[in-house]
Amino acid sequence: MEASVLYDRLDEELAVEDYADVDASANGLQVGSGAGAVDRVAVAVDGVQATFEAAADWDADAMVVHHGLSWGGIDRITGRTYDRVAALVENDIDLYAVHLPLDGHPQYGNAAGLADRLNLGNRAPFGRLGPVTVGQQGWLQQPASPAALHETLEDLLDHGGQGVRLLDFGPEEIESVAILTGSGTDWLDEAVAADVDAYVTGEPEGKLYHMAREAGVNVFLGGHYGTETFGVRALADLIAEWGPETAFLDEPTGL
């Protein structure tokens, strides 16, 4: 598959331009010429030395990651940034990054992937950020206790053995759930306004504890990494349908 065709398809499928004004990430092709053929595409949550080296060992032509290298510009390519860019350039690997568009996508997104695995029905966009959304909300097929949903999330999420934390401040029976992966403290008030019984996110800020307690909502914290493997895995399946061989490079952080 031609590299330019792959990146154009991803840009279009993920509506990258819709997030340009709200995302600090420079979404799209970040490193590489974007020319030539792409036969092997590695996907990973984080664009870091470990995943770049694993991609090189797998002989990847390109990488698609959720967390890339450029967040509002790179002033100098030195130190850690140099090492990461060198690992890509020396092994002739393109880097394509997609951040918030992959959080909010209704089919391939991180929240959508977790909602699929929880079998949520009556789903709707959640997590307003300007003109776009970065999460989903819906209803469990069968009500669950906080303990039961906690156990389900422990089984579903790649939390690196650190487990899922539960702030058990909400109803004893959970029917409705809002999901915003990664760092979602700033959207708790939207979850409360939506009158959901539970809010699932990745990592908290310190203020989240009392916000959840005062609002009377159950909050599940599955880790930033643990809640954000779904999107790149979905993209691996999509890209494979287009022709290239794909592989998911798992580097859990436990955070």
Asked if residue 224 belongs to a known ligand binding site, the reply is yes
Asked if residue 99 belongs to a known ligand binding site, the reply is no
Asked if residue 103 belongs to a known ligand binding site, the reply is yes
Taking the C-alpha atoms of residue 48 and residue 55, their distance in angstroms, rounded to an integer, is 11
Asked if residue 228 belongs to a known ligand binding site, the reply is yes
Find all residues with CB under 8 Å of 135, minimum gap 6, and list them: 103, 104, 111, 125, 126, 127, 178, 179, 180, 181, 184, 187
Taking the C-alpha atoms of residue 135 and residue 128, their distance in angstroms, rounded to an integer, is 8
- Do 28 and 95 meet the contact criterion of CB atoms below 8 Å apart? no
- Do 39 and 242 meet the contact criterion of CB atoms below 8 Å apart? no
Annotated binding residues: 66-67, 103, 224, 228
Annotated binding residues for a divalent metal cation: 66-67, 103, 224, 228
